[in-house]
Every structure is written in C-alpha cells, then in structure tokens.
Amino acid sequence: MVAVENLVKDYGDLRAVDGVSFQVKKGDILGFLGPNGAGKSTTMKMITGFLSPTSGTASVDGFDVRKNPLEAKSRVGYLPESSPAYPEMTVVEFLSYVAETRGFRSKDEVHNRLSDVIVKCHLQSVQSQSIETLSKGYRQRVGVAQAILHDPPVLILDEPTDGLDPNQKHEVRKLIKAMSEDKAIVLSTHILEEVEAICNRIIVIDQGKVRVDEMPEEFKARKPGSSIDEIFREITSSKAYA
Ligand code: ADP
C-alpha cells in the first residue's frame, strides 16, 4: 500500500531525511517514532505529496507521488501535525468544503460522506458549531474526519492524539484501530502507551535515517519500564548506531 524507497529531503544544507525505505501493507498500523527533528513530519509530508522529495520514491497503492500525484493523493488521508481548519467555518461547512475538493459532487454523496464521518468521529453534538469555538479534542476529531472523508486506503496521521485528554486519546485510538482492518496506517507519536495499544510495527528514525524496524514488544523490551525518550537514548548510544 505504501512503499518508500531511499527517500531523501534536503532543506538547503540540511539533509532532513537521509535514504529512508520501508513498506506498509493493508492491516498495518506503523508507529513512526523518533526524537524531535528526526525527520518524521518531513517523511510523512513526502508520502502525502505535500512536499516533493529531493531524491528517492514514495508510492501509494502503486502510484508514485511524483509521477502520478493526483492518483496518489486521492488514495491518502492526511492529518497534519497541527490540524488545519478554517476557524470561522462550522464543522459541517468545513467537511462539505473538503468533500467538494475531494471530488464529491452530488448532494446525496456529500451528505452520505459527511454523515458517515460525523458519526465515526463522534462530532454530532458540535456539527453546527464554528471550528474556532471547539475544544482541542473536538478540533482533532475534525482533523481525523477530514482525513478519512473519502475513505482512503492509506492514512498518514501526524501525532493524532497530541493534546487530547486521556478519554479523547482512548476514543481516537479506538477509531484508528477500527479503521485499520482495510487500510494501511502510518502514525507518528511520542507516547509509548499508544504504540503498545495500537501499533503492530514500529520504525524509529533519527537524523533522517531508519535506526530500528521491529515489533512494539521488542522495542519496549530494549529497556523495560522506561520512557520512549530513554529507549531512544539507549538506541542512539548503542554500538550498532552508525
Ligand atoms: P520531526 O517531525 O521528526 O520532529 P521534521 O521532519 O519536522 O522532524 O524536521 C526534520 C529536520 O528538518 C529538523 O532539523 C527541522 O528543523 C528541519 N526542517 C523541517 N522543516 C523545515 C523547513 N521547512 N525548512 C528548513 N528546515 C526544516
């Protein structure tokens, strides 16, 4: 579903992503981990076609993001780091706008898509409210709703539970897990508990390179009882680290 091969991104003299390769298949929830500035968001933006790679390839459902950008983009749902939404629009107005930009034309189609995501993301009680009046938790759910509106086979979620309270985190994780059966999902997170709760595989990147590709249990067993940052330190200080 997602194939990333030798992906590189330079910002001027800085190589933010340095030869990253991995694949994600249907049913996978890949936890994309790493310290701040590791290159996670930049990699995700290249998969979604938001940023163009300096070299290397990324493809979505067989479509190269550079050669077939429209086909690739139509198969991805993307929740950026700080979920952007037009603050003055109501939830329904914003999601209708997203539906139109995603190519849904008939009123019935738009209505059906909106009803589906409003229920899935538990937005019924705030659907007529303007986005600027929503709590962070609800705003994040609007972000998830816009990402899944066209029912894409691939979801790229940049810190989907960031800033949410424990209940909201639980709800969003439940939603992600429920959707994973027929999708390939990549999510970045700083939360070890989240990795354990929903990911079936993890990749750690640091300084733009993949350092670890393993199961969550193996990752946790590297330093039992430690925080995610302590495990990163353990990995980066090991001899195998080049
Ligand atoms: P992460 O998501 O893992 O925190 P990022 O992908 O955001 O990391 O950033 C990787 C590196 O690229 C960092 O050193 C960051 O400062 C740099 N970077 C990110 N975006 C830009 C940009 N638009 N211009 C220049 N440097 C950037």
Digits of tens for pLDDT over the chain (242 positions)? 999 999 999 999 999 999 999 999 999 999 999 999 999 999 999 999 999 999 999 999 999 999 999 999 999 999 998 766 788 999 999 999 999 999 998 999 999 999 999 998 889 999 999 999 998 888 888 999 999 999 999 999 999 988 788 988 888 899 899 999 999 999 999 888 899 899 999 999 999 999 999 999 998 888 888 888 888 888 887 755 55
Cβ of residue 82 lying under 6 Å from some atom of ligand 1: no
Ligand 1, from 10, 33, 36, 42: best to mutate by most atoms within 8 Å of Cβ? 42
CB 154 within 8 A of CB 76: yes
Strands (E), the chain: 2-11, 14-24, 29-33, 55-60, 63-64, 76-79, 154-158, 184-188, 201-206, 209-214
Token output for 178: 């429920």
Q: H/E element holding 125? A: none
